[in-house]
Structure formats: C-alpha cells, structure tokens
C-alpha cells in the first residue's frame, strides 16, 4: 500500500470537513432562507464528490490513498483516512445518493411540511428546514467517515455519528408514531453498536492497538471467534439480517421518505462494508469457519425478506422488507468467503444503493402526488405518471438483477463466489447455493407484481387528476437509473477497482 502525492492536499480530510463545517452554516443560512437552503446544502456535497472523483485514478487497479493526522499521539492514536479499491465506490455511492436525495428533498420536504401544516395548522418556521439540512449533512459526514476510517475508535465514533442524526431526522420529520419508532431504531442499532464496542475492546485486549490493520493479530487467539462474532453481530444488526431485522421496516417505513432513501440504500449496507473491512479481510481464517452457518442465515434472510415483502400493502414497508431480502444477498456474498463473492457483495451494495434509492424516491413521489402509501388504493398510474413508471421499473430491474442494469452484474459476482466456495465445500453449501439462486425469482415476482398493482390496470376515478412529479424529484432518480444501466453495460468502472483489490487480499 503506497500513498500518492495528490494535487489537492488533505483531500480526504476535506471530504469530511467540508460538510461538517457546512452543517452549522446551512443551519444559520436556513433560518434566513427557509426552504431554499436545500440548494445550499448540495454545494458541500458537490465539493466532496469532486474530491472523491479526483482520487479515483490513484485507487484504480489495486492502489490506495491515505492520510493520517495526529489525534492522541501519546496513546499512539492517529486519525487516519483511507481510500482504496474497496472504499472508493462506497464513497461515490454514498456521496452521489446524498447529493441526489438532497435535490429531491427540496421538493419533498416542502410537501412534507405543507402536510404537517395542514394537520397542525401551525406554519412551518424556517428553522425546520434549517435543522433538516444541517442534520442531513451531519448524517452524510457520519456515513462517509465510517467508510474512510482506519482505526477502531474513530470508526466507532463515526458509526455513532451516523446513527444520531438519522435518529433525529426520523424522530422529528417522520410519520406515524415517529418518536416511538425513532427510539426503537436508536435502541436496536445502539445495542448493536455496543456489542460491536465489546468486540473492539476485546480486540484491543489482544492486539494492543486500535488500528484496523492490526486486527489480523486477533487471529490465533483463543477468543478470536468471539471477537469476530461480536463485531459482526453489531454490523448484522445494522444490515437487519433475519432475527434482528424487525427495527428496519418500522424505521424505513416511518422515516421521512428522502431519509428512507438514504437509510435503506446507503446506510444499512455499510454494515456489509464494515464487516468486510473489520473482519473478513483481517480475520479471514476466523471468518471462514462461519461460512456455512452464515450462508444458511443469509438464505433465510433473503427468502424471509422476500416473503414478507409479498405480504405488505404499505409501499414503504414493502420496500423495507425488500431491503431485508437484498441484504440477504449481500450477506450471502460475504458468507461465501470467496473473492468474487465478497466483491459481489460490495458491488451489490452499490446496486442496491442506486436501485433502492430510485424506488424509495418513487415511493416518495407517489406519497406526494397521489397522497397514499397503500398499494391497494393505487392502480393505472402509468398513464398519469409515465416517467415515474419507467423509473420504478428500472429500479426494480436493478435490484432484481435484470440486465442491462448493474444488478445483473453484481448478482453475477455474488453467485460466482457462492458457487465457487460451495463447489469446493460441503454438499449442504451446494444446496444452499442452488436454492438461493432459485429464490432470486422471488424478487422478480414481488417487483413486477407491485409495479402492476400500482401502475397498470384501469385508472381509478379518484386518481384521474394525479400529476407527474416535478423535475427536481424525477431528475435525480433518472440519473441514478441511467447510471445503473451504464454500469450494467460497462461494469469495468466498478470491477476494475473491486476485483484487483480483493485479488490482493485473498
């Protein structure tokens, strides 16, 4: 791993600092400007995106770029930031999604507040917009920081920073019993984080270092399995795998839709990234021993999530369960403990990020334009909203892995890895591999069924006046969809980063 001298110094530090510093600025500007501040909030995200793009060339083909700052030198603790083949696409995905959804929010939140005004009769103060966008930026910092970080304490800090603003956003701008659900979300992921902390601390006990790179020292210790398991459980709670998934449908269902569109696509999958970074890479021999059990767990998750999605009528809860199912695929890729499988899992994070972001965006459009979340009450909307229909189809094709979207490529890698490890493993793994690939049809099934129920068939009388969504909502989603198709046709943009990285690791 060598570090290159960059044209822009402190790029990675700036990636975090720019939005962090912008948060209070946006807040104060927001108090003056009101809803228009959403556009101001996009600026720092554009800056960070450009910074990340400027790094991409360095990272191509297995390279890496890192920065390190003194933090608590007495304790040997540095504030390190690292971009490499694994993290670069995580960063791009998070940043692009945050940027697009920020644009989307400008219209959506206006609608949300109008709805609130309608209910309460109290006019929305500017500060409501101000704090929304300030928290939004902090949330972005949390996610980006989690991905960039190189030591465990720093990791934990950002991991919590990711949680707190998102909790506040659900708590204040969500729907339904938002306080209770915000609490539930907070408790679950926080409990997960505490177990993670236990794992981190015990690893320190063994290795005497908080550096992620030092985690490999845990291998061989008698409690290595427990350490790995504790860390993983923390991440699995975030990913909402079967058994510890129950917070997710609530949180994603009741969060304000733009936040759902970040929670589900961008945030929960970071669990998979963290599991790769903290456990699979440094503690590979330990992780390998879990492979069979985890594969089965993943199969359970993907089937269970898909089945639950079939049973939903609320479109946001439907999408939330579909996320559980997709996390099952990512989990399956990780559990394969094979080069292509883990690459595929990260690739599928990107796929799911863009695909599910489109779909939550569509759900938000439906809520704003049609005024309902119940699939039963919709129908025949393709006539009224052709763009939304196309977006919804492309979003579903992306997560279902239908070419030419990128979902096909990511699932291709996941299953290559799964079969790769299954064919050299036990017959039970082979059975899991075959069953799990057959189960992918479940995704196609629930997707198209939902598309049909919402957009096709006769248009009900009461929906005759529904209008297509404004450009600010359509355009970001359209960009995501085109991106998905583009990567589907030319996957090397992603694979040339991911595959050499994992080729070096495994």
Partner 1 sequence: MDPVAAMTPLEVIMKYPGPWLAWILPMLGALSMPLFERLGTKIRDYAAVAWGLTSVLSAASMIPWLFSGNYPGDIKLTTWINFPGGSPLEVGVLVDPLSIIVCNVVAFISFLILVYSTEYMHGDKHLTRFWFFFLFFIGSMLLLVLSDNLIQTMVGWEGVGICSYGLIGYYYRDAKERWLGGPPPHKMFPPSHAGMKAFVVTGIGDVFILGAIFVIFNYAGTLNYVDLIATAHQWLPQIAAVPGLLAVTAIFFLGGPIGKSAQFPLHEWLPEAMAGPTSVSALIHAATMVKAGVYLVARMSPIFYLGTWEMHLPEAQVFFIVIACVGAFTCFMAASQALVSVELKKILAYSTVSQIGYMMLALGVSGLSEGAYVAGLTAGVFHLMSHALFKAALFLGAGSVIHAIHTIYTFNMGGLKKYMPITFILMVIATASLAGIPPLSGFWSKDAVFIACLVANTPLSLTLLAVGAVSAAMTFFYSIRYIKLTFLGHESKHIEEMEQHGHHPHEAPQIMWVPIAILVGLVCVIGLLGLAGFFVPSLSPELFIEHLLHDMLHHMGIPLHTHHLEFPTILTAWGTSAAMLLIGGILGWLFYLSRRVDSWEFVSGNSTLKPVHTFLFNRWYMNSTYYKVFVYGLIDFAKAVFATLESKVFDKITAFVSDSTIAFGKVIHVFETKVYDPAINVGLVNFFVEGGKMLYNDFEFLLDLSLNRGVPATMTGLHNQVKKLQSGVLSYNIIYVVIVFLVLILGFGLTQMYGGI
Q: Does 125 bind partner 1 (CB under 8 A)?
A: yes
Give least dist CB 93 to partner 1, A: 19
Regarding 161 and contact with partner 1 (CB under 8 A), the answer is yes
By CB under 8 A, tell whether 449 contacts partner 1. Answer: yes
Residues 6 or more apart in contact with residue 498 via CB below 8 angstroms? 85, 86, 89, 343, 346, 347
Query: Closest CB to partner 1 among 38 and 100?
Result: 38
Closer of 49 and 335 to partner 1 (Cβ): 335
CA 149, distance to chain mean position in Å, is 17
- Count, residues in the chain: 506
Reference 376, options 313, 320, 460; nearest CA is 313
CA dihedral 267, 271, 272, 275 (to 10 degrees): 150
Task: Please choose, out of 51-59, 230-238, 327-335, 444-452, the segment that lies near partner 1 by the rule CB under 8 A.
Answer: 444-452
Nearer to partner 1, 61 or 371 (CB): 61
412 binds partner 1 (CB under 8 A): yes
Q: Does 171 bind partner 1 (CB under 8 A)?
A: yes
Nearer CB in complex with partner 1: 9/458: 458
Between the alpha carbon of residue 148 and those of residues 14, 77, 84, 505, the distances in Å are 12, 16, 9, 18
Q: Report which of 259, 200, 188, 261 is spatially closest to residue 226, judged by C-alpha positions.
A: 200
Binding string to partner 1 for residues 180 to 199, with x set by CB under 8 A, is what?
Answer: x-xxx--xx--x--------
Q: Is 226 in the site for partner 1 (CB under 8 A)?
A: no
Closest contact distance (angstroms) between CB of 15 and partner 1 is 18
Binding status of residue 275 toward partner 1 by CB under 8 A: no
Min. distance of Cβ 431 from partner 1 in angstroms?
10
Phi, psi of 329 (to 5 degrees): -65, -45
Dist. CA 291–CA 337, nearest whole Å:
6
Q: Is 14 in the site for partner 1 (CB under 8 A)?
A: no
**Hey, is 209 helix, strand or coil?**
coil
Site for partner 1 in 92-121 (CB under 8 A): 116, 120
Tokens representing 255 are 């969060």
The reply to whether 347 sits near partner 1 by the rule CB under 8 A is no
By rule CB under 8 A, what count of residues binds partner 1?
94
- Residue 452 in the binding site for partner 1 (CB under 8 A): yes
Among the listed ranges 11-19, 52-60, 359-367, 414-422, the one in contact with partner 1 (CB under 8 A) is: 414-422
Q: Are 256 and 173 in contact (CB under 8 A)?
A: yes
> Least CB distance from residue 153 to partner 1, whole Å?
4
Q: Taking contact as CB under 8 A, which single stretch among the options 45-53, 72-80, 96-104, 478-486 is the one that binds partner 1?
A: 72-80
Pick out residues in 295-314 that bind partner 1 (CB under 8 A): 304, 307-308, 310-312
Nearest to 156 by CA among 204, 120, 114, 118: 204
Check residue 455 and give left, alpha or beta (phi > 0: left; psi -120 to 50: alpha).
alpha
- CA distances to 239, 247, 400 from 242, in Å: 9, 11, 20
Binding residue for partner 1 (CB under 8 A) from 16, 19, 27, 147? 27
Minimum distance of partner 1 from residue 416's CB (angstroms): 6
Distance between CA 42 and CA 191 in Å, rounded? 33
Count of CB atoms situated within 10 Å of the CB of 188: 20
Binding residue for partner 1, selected from 40, 43, 459, 475, defined by CB under 8 A: 459
First CA to last CA across the chain, in angstroms? 15
Q: Which two tokens stand for residue 67?
A: 């920065």
Q: Closest CB to partner 1 among 50 and 503?
A: 503
Q: How far is the CB of 121 from partner 1 (least distance, A)?
A: 11
């Amino acid at each position: 791993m060598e570090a290159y001298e960059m044209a822009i110094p402190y790029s990675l530090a700036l990636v975090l600092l720019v939005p962090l510093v912008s948060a209070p600025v946006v807040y104060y500007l927001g108090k003056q400007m009101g809803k228009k501040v959403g556009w101001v909030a996009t600026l720092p995200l554009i800056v960070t995106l450009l910074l990340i793009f400027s790094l991409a060339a360095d990272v191509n083909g297995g390279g890496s770029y890192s920065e390190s700052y003194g933090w608590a030198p007495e304790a040997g603790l540095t504030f390190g930031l690292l971009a490499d083949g694994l993290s670069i696409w995580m960063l791009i995905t998070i940043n692009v999604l945050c940027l697009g959804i920020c644009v989307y929010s400008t219209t959506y939140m206006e609608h949300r507040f109008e709805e609130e005004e309608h209910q309460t009769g109290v006019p929305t103060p500017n500060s409501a917009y101000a704090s929304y966008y300030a928290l939004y930026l902090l949330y972005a910092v949390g996610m980006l920081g989690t991905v960039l970080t190189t030591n465990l304490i720093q990791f934990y800090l950002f991991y919590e920073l990711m949680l707190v603003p998102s909790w506040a956003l659900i708590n204040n701008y969500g729907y339904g019993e938002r306080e209770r659900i915000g609490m539930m979300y907070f408790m679950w992921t926080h409990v997960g984080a505490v177990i993670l902390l236990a794992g981190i601390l015990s690893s320190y006990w063994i290795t005497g270092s908080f550096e992620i790179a030092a985690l490999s020292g845990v291998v061989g210790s008698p409690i290595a399995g427990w350490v790995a398991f504790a860390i993983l459980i923390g991440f699995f709670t975030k990913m909402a795998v079967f058994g510890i998934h129950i917070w997710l449908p609530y949180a994603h269902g009741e969060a304000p839709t733009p936040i759902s569109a970040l929670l589900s696509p961008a945030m929960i999958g970071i669990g998979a990234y963290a599991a790769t970074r903290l456990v699979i890479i440094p503690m590979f021999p330990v992780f390998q021993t879990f492979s069979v059990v985890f594969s089965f767990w993943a199969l359970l998750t993907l089937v269970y999530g898909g089945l639950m999605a079939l049973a939903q009528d609320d479109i946001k809860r439907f999408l939330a369960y579909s996320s559980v199912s997709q996390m099952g695929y990512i989990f399956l890729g990780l559990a394969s403990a094979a080069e292509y499988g883990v690459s595929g899992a990260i690739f599928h994070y990107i796929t799911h990020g863009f695909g599910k972001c489109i779909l939550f965006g569509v759900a938000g459009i439906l809520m704003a334009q049609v005024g309902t979340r119940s699939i039963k009450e919709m129908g025949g909307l393709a006539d009224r909203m052709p763009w939304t229909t196309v977006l919804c189809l492309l979003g579903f094709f992306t997560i279902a892995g239908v070419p030419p979207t990128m979902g096909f490529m990511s699932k291709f890698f996941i299953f290559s890895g799964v079969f790769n490890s299954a064919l050299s493993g036990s017959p039970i793994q082979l059975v899991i591999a075959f069953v799990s690939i057959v189960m992918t049809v479940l995704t196609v099934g629930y997707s198209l069924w939902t598309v049909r129920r919402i957009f096709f068939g006769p248009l009900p009388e009461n929906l005759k006046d529904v209008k297509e969504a404004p450009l600010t909502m359509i355009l970001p989603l359209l960009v995501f969809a085109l991106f998905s198709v583009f990567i589907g046709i030319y996957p090397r943009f992603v694979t040339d980063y991911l595959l050499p990285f994992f080729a070096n690791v495994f």
